[in-house]
Amino acid sequence: MRVLVTGATGYVGRAVVRELRVHGHEPVLSRQRLSEPFGSIDADAVIHLAGVARVRESFEDPLSYYATNVGGTLNLLKALEGQRFLLASTAGVYRPSDSPLTESSVREPSSPYAASKAAAEDLVAWAARSGRIGATTLRLFNVAGGGDTDTSRVITRAVAAAAGAVDGMDVYGDGSAVRDFVHVRDVAAAFVVALEACTPGESAVYNVGATPASIRDVLEAVAGVSGRPVNVTWKPAHPGEVRSQRADVSRLRALGWQPSHSALADIVKDQWSASAPEPGPGPSR
């Protein structure tokens, strides 16, 4: 298939482009701004990864988050007729739960960013219901590894702290909060599997997660892989902090997807090898 990829030069986008090529698809990089109307799109499918995704920033400027994440999706959909459309969404759309989250779990976005993604999900689903497209939404949990450079993410920050690239990291609470981590290469594989299963006129949603681990687990894994301590500043837990966020991925596994790079130690090793400094004593203890 000929597949238009928005956000193709980004962190997830680069991995998706590589995976598409491995499976014989032809990725086409979108160079148009999402804020501008699209003409006719010469592709069999669209994988929509572009957008703005900083949770804290979204509270300061919610209008731009809706304009980009919802308005940009709308501009793409207007240019489609009969193609497959895959939307990258977030686990942040869910109401917190101690139980593993399924695709039918209650949505309750807690930030303008997550709310804009939930709105884009609805837009895509209604477009599919009208028969205009075939739609698939992938709700990504904590994507990591592969040389990520966004130090607002837990594993990336911990590795950067061990490498001395940043001063350290703040941990709120006692470090027992659990998050679900998945390697970016397994995320890319999920997009290709979902693309090939997408059916015009229908809409599907899949969780993409792999390895639940606590923040303390991450710190221990990073110290074990790097041989260097992670400089942590412990702070009081935020009121209402989500204690656990785990993905039920049985629906995606039923398509044949199997995460093969997402063991916690493997994610940390991959991130460390991509960003580690030259050999040396590391930060002092």
Q: Dihedral sign for Cα 110, 116, 122, 125, please.
A: negative
- Tens place of pLDDT per residue across the chain (285 aa): 999 999 999 999 999 999 999 999 999 999 888 888 888 899 999 999 999 999 989 999 999 999 999 999 999 999 999 999 999 999 999 999 999 999 999 999 999 999 999 999 999 999 999 999 999 999 999 999 999 999 999 999 999 999 999 999 999 999 999 999 999 999 999 999 999 999 989 999 999 999 999 999 999 999 999 999 999 999 998 776 788 999 999 999 999 999 999 999 999 999 999 886 654 444 433
Q: How far, in Å, CA of 194 to CA of 209, rounded?
A: 14
The angle that helices 264-275 and 215-226 make with each other, rounded to 10 degrees, is 50
Cα–Cα distances (Å) from 48 to 8, 34, 128, 149, in that order, read 9, 10, 15, 21
- Asked if 272 and 225 touch (Cβ cutoff 8 Å), the reply is yes
Instruction: State the pLDDT at residue 17.
Output: 98
The model carries a pTM of 0.94
Instruction: State the pLDDT at residue 149.
Output: 94
Torsion angle defined by CA atoms of residues 225, 231, 233 and 238, in that order, rounded to the nearest 10 degrees: -30
Q: Enumerate the domain spans of the chain.
A: 2-275
Nearest to 9 by CA among 35, 23, 36, 27: 27
Q: How far, in Å, CA of 25 to CA of 130, rounded?
A: 27
Instruction: State the pLDDT at residue 281.
Output: 42
SS3 state at 235:
strand
- Asked if 267 and 183 touch (Cβ cutoff 8 Å), the reply is yes
Q: How far, in Å, CA of 113 to CA of 266, rounded?
A: 29
Residue with tokens 């790079």: 261
Q: For 265-284, write each residue's pLDDT tens digit.
A: 999 999 999 886 654 444 43
Instruction: State the pLDDT at residue 33.
Output: 85
β-bridge pairing 203-208 and 178-183: unpaired
Q: How far, in Å, CA of 215 to CA of 36, rounded?
A: 40
Q: Which two tokens stand for residue 198?
A: 């997408």
- Asked if 190 and 257 touch (Cβ cutoff 8 Å), the reply is yes
Nearest to 157 by CA among 250, 74, 33, 275: 275
CATH number of 2-275: 3.40.50.720
